[in-house]
A and B are shown apart, each in its own frame.
Chain A
């Protein structure tokens, strides 16, 4: 479980996040949603420690991340897997080497065990036959799969996915969403997905946080989402005609 308490972040004179409080539950797909520029990616980067907040704390199983010393932070980070928006695969390494990378850096296992683990992760994301290709030779969807395989290589307790569906066609998006959901259940991870893809929210979101103007505006389940009377949330969700039709079909209201 990850808790965020009173987190505020600013860049220069621009206040990006203000007093964010949230709990991200274990074994669930927690989603942070919001418009572009609302501060959701900054929130995720504060949680994983890439940004240092001016105020507030991030607690991993009750331990405050920003109060940890360097070694403790390194240990926590080995428990974190992250899928980046652009996959962030290492260009100079092939698919297998990308997945092997965190194992080679930190795992205390033999070379053959590392390779077995990497191949298991690649098999888990159904990309076994592409292990010798380089990232530039893969499609966007395949890169995301390799990103997921690398993220789960160290058997993480916490999985972060930054806009996992961006740039993907609807069919591949669904596959990636399903994969994230399955992995969360299978490995019992605390998963946090940053997205503004409403299809993804409706498919996989279990605990949803809506960020607006750098503040936590709303929190609830996907069922609550359709029935909320929060004006800003409704403007965000029902911006597309498709979502308005979904609401009508599910609730009978427009």
Chain B
């Protein structure tokens, strides 16, 4: 009974998510989010690589950056998108308080809404990989791909993505107007800290610990190694496949646990501060 009820609620919120997204998502808007923006980033990376080709001959390294950048679409779409749900439900439709007090509860509701975001993120990532393969010459040898570790990596990464999304929901609940900029900032912060387009070894020494506790740093490195056959971080390259995969799974699990606790605390803080129905005047 409880399982079927939860499933029904998840399905309802996923349906609502689709209604909300597809309401504004006429073809032009779909184009903007799923094609234009990711494509522009891909093309920027390709142009940067093309501009430096005379002096740099790191084609394989570039492929690693490009692939991680494609998977970063999940962070942009799911993690930040989940935070946006809170912001929009509170500020625009002013529905947050009603969802919060409903039997469905916010956790289930956000989970359902994230489903649509996962679909959109997948489209975006797939598109970037296809553009890279067919237009930009970002190719790799599938003989080097290791499907099982790759599949495990993807599952772990998705779990971490969902967990990070819940943390941002909590942050968005606690913050009011500045939630908007903080969400955007988190997107860019993760882009930098997780070494999406460069080896994380290049980060200043004092910032590296931050990078290493973030699951996406490990996720991207695993994706590179198990999809392309090589990673980009010199330090992580010293780890065996099993060590790298184990570390990634452990970091993702620990992060998810911490995220659950953080969400609970942020939820309480938001209630203490009276933020659940607090709309700001822009």
Q: Do A and B come from one complex?
A: no
